Amino acid sequence: METQANANVLDDLTTIEDLAENHSRILSESTIRWQLRFRDRNGLDSCVVTVGKKMLISKSRYEAWLTRQIGATK
């Protein structure tokens, strides 16, 4: 039986393609991939979950990371 917490965690994970598609006004797949290329240096590594060869991104953690990036540029 799946608990509510587990369902929320799974619902929070998305693919690079889906994240870009759902936010196409401000994000492109190539932008996200560029950010992920340097994830160990820019802190984005905390947003990534790898399942086999598939890389998934936590939508909530990515949003928090992006908010911190915007604050750092002000």
Q: What is the mean pLDDT of the chain?
A: 89
pLDDT digits (tens, 9 = 90+) for 27-70: 999 999 999 999 999 999 999 999 999 999 999 999 999 999 88
pTM to 2 decimal places? 0.81
SS3 58: strand
Q: Which domain holds residue 68?
A: 4-72
CATH of the domain at 15: 1.10.10
Burial (Cβ within 10 Å: 0-12, 13-18, ≥19) of residue 60? middle
What is the per-residue pLDDT across 12-31, written as a single tens digit (0 to 9) for each? 999 999 999 999 999 999 99
Q: How many domains are contained in the chain?
A: 1
Give CA separation, 54 vs 4, 5, 13, 41, 45, in Å.
24, 22, 11, 21, 14
